[in-house]
Structure 1
């Protein structure tokens, strides 16, 4: 679930952070994404090449809607924890929270970061497992696993790095238009084609 995201600067220049970011992703979501894309492309491709009338165009519109949505919800979510900030990449937006702006990291029914100004952002890449939560409670928190262990790691990083001068600032939110726009175009095309058919 954790892996280095970037190597230190190779050109002799210092990298943005002294160490590589820790990356948290859901491997099961990625496996599910591969399966969904495989099934969708198989069925959609069959309809495009063998269909008649509006069927090929409807299949293309459905693929234009479905592929970005599947990719956004399965492959895109990731959490990057660096020396200065937490970068949360969710399906349709990326949130960058400097460690000094983190008020709390918690795991209830979903994992979320709460900023000092009260904003809450979900960490889609760190899903909560109720089964693992029960095991953690039974062990008295001695053997944290799953999202609980990840949240504890992130809390430790927040405490250690919040004092760094480079870890200050306000949270930033950027929308993932590369996923939003194709899905909306596909949705509009699909609605029009279904209305015509």
Structure 2
């Protein structure tokens, strides 16, 4: 779910902490589903353009213009980027930038959420799967019961324990750790900022208007 970004900023100076690559969080299942839906949509539009008659090709193109940005918004676009100075949350229709100093908490209950500036922002790229959480809990319980070395929770290997947690819980733990580590950094101070994804909203709105006009014409 995470991947490094080699272009992320790195601190410099004699008292700087060790640099690390910006972490990126995405949902592999959402990416795969989005690609599949876009390929299917393009195939249907192509088929309508070749075999359709009258307004059918234009209706298909307008429908694709309306729906494709929405598919991208909910599947390919969501991502969370965690750098040394800020958390950048890219949700379907907006991007929220949160300096670590303003982050008040990160949690994963029925959804993954970050709290900053007195507001709550969902992390679409880190979906919570109750099924995965239950499977991880069963795996942890089984490992504790069948530990061949008879280790207790205090002596068990930390990496093994982390591997037996749901991916969303692991990701939230990492973000919470980064928030606590950089909360007081001079370069991580500021207020939340929000930018709307007009590159998604505009073409979808144009497609919706075109589709309504085509279907409304007798």
Give me the TM-score of the superposition, normalised by structure 2: 0.81
Alpha-carbon separation, structure 1, partners of 2:170 and 2:203: 36
Deviations for 1:35-87, whole angstroms, at most 9, x for unmatched residues?
10111110111112221111111001001011111111111111000001100
Instruction: For structure 2, list consecutive stretches of 5 or more residues without a partner in the other structure.
Output: 142-152, 154-160
Count of residue pairs brought into register by the alignment: 191
In structure 2, what is the equivalent of residue 65 of structure 1? 66
Alpha-carbon separation, structure 2, partners of 1:8 and 1:157: 15
Alpha-carbon separation, structure 2, partners of 1:114 and 1:184: 31
RMSD: 2.1
Where 1:61 maps in the other structure, the secondary structure is: helix
Task: Please say if 1:111 is aligned against 2:101.
Answer: no
8 Å Cα contact 1:112-1:122 kept in structure 2:
yes
Instruction: For structure 1, list consecutive stretches of 5 or more residues without a partner in the other structure.
Output: none
8 Å Cα contact 1:8-1:18 kept in structure 2:
no
8 Å Cα contact 1:95-1:172 kept in structure 2:
yes
Within 5 Å, give how 1:65-144 maps onto structure 2. Answer: 65-115=66-116, 117-137=117-137, 139=140, 142=161, 143-144=164-165
In structure 2, what is the equivalent of residue 195 of structure 1? 216
Shift of 1:137: 4.8
Alpha-carbon separation, structure 2, partners of 1:100 and 1:144: 28
Which is higher, the Rg of structure 1 or of structure 2? Answer: 2
8 Å Cα contact 2:8-2:83 kept in structure 1:
no
